[in-house]
A and B are shown apart, each in its own frame.
Chain A
Amino acid sequence: MTEKKARRAVILGATSAMAEQIARLLAAEGARLSLVARDPHRLEAICADLTTRGAGCAIPHACDLADVENPDSLLGTLAASIGGLDAVLIFYGVLGDQQQAEHETQHLRHIVRVNFTSAAEWAIAAARALESGDSPNPVLMAIGSVAGDRGRASNYVYGAAKAGLAAIFQGLAHEYGTTRLRVVLVKSGSVITPMTDGFQRKGLTWARPEQMAAIIRKLMDRGGPIAYAPSFWRWIMLVIRSLPHSVMKRLKI
């Protein structure tokens, strides 16, 4: 068996439940990880755990990603700390409150800034860094949402931000289509995480973060540029997108 080189990955929004699960899978493969999120104590707790689980290294970097002035230079620092860059995973996001966003401009701006503007800046910077690096098979990935496939009354501000991010990823995939860089946007369905703890979780469509991580881990190697996770959401969203407005307006979904 040939010794595979440890994968070097930067995870942005590393304290999210899904990010932590994918980090565990990568750690078990011996990956070298750079983890970025706001809370230093939580990052420390995750890094200690990942080290036990086999990570080549797990280096925390605490900052507010939406407030970083120069993503290119920070990415350079992060990549240097783990000896290069094979993958950048953008996992941070905020669900927000649709009602509040409709009444408070600040909240609306916050949802769009975190989920779209900031994520887009990081994605574009990361694509550049990955493509110009020494990785034989670089990957850029972000978590989108099925909410971006059709605006619905219950969460269209969040949905719009994620739809915008999907367009950025389509564009990046197109731009880098002839290079080694793989660009993948994972459209996530409903996941049982703290983000959705207040929701009524009826039905069979809810996925656990560990299931999502296993799907996402596979998508790091093949698939995309737009992938649904779990994959049945492709068909659910095909139906929802195809509903005529005359039907849609009567539905509470």
Chain B
Amino acid sequence: MTLPGFQPDETRRSWGRVQHGPQQIAIPQFRDDVAPLLRAARDAAMPVLGVGLGRSYGDNGLNLGAAVVDATRLDRTIAFDPVQGVLRAEAGMALGDILKLVVPRGWFLPVSPGTRFVTLGGAVANDVHGKNHHSRGTFGTWVRRIGLLRSDLGMVEVSQEQHPELFRATIGGLGLTGFILWVEFQLVPIASAWLEQENIPFGRLSDFFAIAAASEAFEHTVAWVDCTSGGKELGRGIFQRANWARDGRLAVHAERAHLALPVDLPGWALNRFILRAFNSFHYHANRFKPRRTKLHYGSALYPLDAIRNWNRLYGSRGFYQYQCVIPPVAAQDAVHELLRIIAASGMGSFLIVLKTFGSSRSPGLLSFPHEGTTLALDFANHGEETLRLMARLDEVVMSASGRLYPAKDGRIPPAIFRACYPNLDLFRHSMDPAFSSSFWQRISS
């Protein structure tokens, strides 16, 4: 049975491409189209979920066997104050489209993830972070008001003052507290669209911590790590730190991708020899690059957006992303242990990132970022072997009192998720009774 206003679909996958299956999809064009869709789902007792551009790696942007309402056509601005830098826009507007509007007027997103193909609603629902977490916190920290459409309460405006519990649950709430119709948030001023970046090679993990500690004055910091080298070279990498330039040039990014992967690469293409060669090459090539460069935000913040569908690199079986954060006291030892396990497994990849999170706390109940060190990397999906490896990493993370990131996940065991997020029971009170997701089904089973 197809719900009125919905269409059956089997083409959508998680960004990691591991999870897929049938769903019913509706793509409303206007805000007032959404309420009848939620009503249709509720009346048929079919769980529903609002979704955006599908960049979540795991299953929190899917509702397999149930219904999704795709927000991407709800992409209008509602109000913009170019003096105060406050924007209210529909939840389906992509961060890249927001940048096209605000950059020429000297404003930027306060926080941006590593891709601009993320909707505003998705940025709130996952309380995304970026390379500037230590200086600016999470996206949710900058949200002033949210227009939330509930299946039971109708339209509700939530903020720190109005319905604060629902506001806190919605930030990082994985889209489960109702349909996010619009978001009002604060932008930050920029005096240039370019960043002055420094690249600092480091030979081992302890150097990363030393450089990170000395780089707190830089707005953006992140490190790439060679995850294939063990022993004395364990944890070598390239530290990048950047601040906005002040040259007054406010050009927006180019929309065109340099490359696109129209088909899946065969699964064997990324074998351990190629990965090892790539990682070594990348490390040594960067050692000889100029230490200081000036980069447009398009290349500095969104390098992967230049390759459309890069997620097909990992072949038709897809990939998992693993992202954890470890509190400061245990960080160095735990990250060392994680890297050791990954290097020994030979199953790492080339997108491995280390970053220090700051102490700023997000209002979000289920927000992932936490003071400490975060490690993120991809694993091509080799079935059981990959799952076993991630289970070993889970043990290290849990014994260091760390936590895992639901937007990247497709497999956390429910018990571990509950241990990571002690506010989970509080969160449940704010959920919309008609909403669910594949992630939520799995976690609450």
| Chain A residues at the B interface, C-beta cutoff of 8 Å | 15, 17, 39, 41-42, 45-46, 48-49, 52-53, 194, 197-198
Contact = CB atoms under 8 A, between A and B. Distances in A.
Contact of B79 (A42, A48, A53, A198): A48
B32 A52 contact: no
Contact of A45 (B78, B80, B101): B78
Contacts of B30: 15, 39, 41-42, 45
Nearest to B80: A52
B78 A49 contact: yes
Q: Determine chain A's interface SS by DSSP, over half rule.
A: helix
Q: Determine chain B's interface SS by DSSP, over half rule.
A: mixed
Interface residues of B, number: 13
A46 B32 CA distance: 13
Contact of A197 (B27, B77, B79): B27
Contacts of B31: 45
Interface string B52-77: 00000000000000000000010011
A165 B15 CA distance: 44
A45 B101 CA distance: 17
B32 A198 contact: no
B101 A198 contact: no
A42 B32 contact: yes
Interface in B241-282: none
Most buried by B among A41, A194, A198: A194
A15 B32 CA distance: 13
Contacts of A48: 76-79
16 contacts: A15-B30, A17-B29, A17-B73, A41-B30, A42-B30, A42-B32, A45-B30, A45-B76, A48-B78, A49-B77, A52-B77, A52-B79, A52-B80, A53-B77, A53-B101, A197-B27
Contacts of A197: 7, 27
B32 A41 contact: yes
Contacts, number: 33
Contacts of B32: 41-42
Interface in B18-62: 27, 29-32
Contacts of B27: 194, 197
A42 B101 CA distance: 21
Interface of B: 7, 27, 29-32, 73, 76-80, 101
Contacts of B29: 15, 17, 194
Contacts of A53: 77, 101
B420 to A, nearest CB: 39
Contacts of A52: 77, 79-80, 101
A48 to B, nearest CB: 6
A85 B7 CA distance: 41
Given A41-B32, A48-B76, A53-B77, 6 more contacts: A15-B29, A17-B29, A45-B31, A48-B77, A48-B78, A194-B27
A13 to B, nearest CB: 13
A158 B7 CA distance: 23
Nearest to B5: A197
B80 A198 contact: no
Contacts of A15: 29-30
Contacts of B79: 48, 52
Most buried by A among B27, B77, B79: B77
A198 B76 contact: no
B76 A46 contact: yes
Nearest to A41: B32
Nearest to A198: B7
A197 B24 CA distance: 12
A48 B79 CA distance: 7
Interface pairs A-B: 8 shortest CB-CB? A49-B76, A52-B77, A52-B80, A194-B29, A49-B77, A42-B30, A48-B78, A45-B76
Nearest to A48: B78
B120 to A, nearest CB: 13
A39 B80 CA distance: 23
Contacts of B101: 52-53
A244 to B, nearest CB: 36
B260 to A, nearest CB: 14
A108 B78 CA distance: 38
A210 to B, nearest CB: 10
A39 B32 CA distance: 11
Nearest to B11: A201
Nearest to B33: A194
Contacts of A46: 76
A62 to B, nearest CB: 14
A38 to B, nearest CB: 12
A41 B34 CA distance: 14
A194 B77 CA distance: 20
B294 to A, nearest CB: 27
Nearest to B26: A197
Contacts of B76: 45-46, 48-49
A163 B9 CA distance: 33
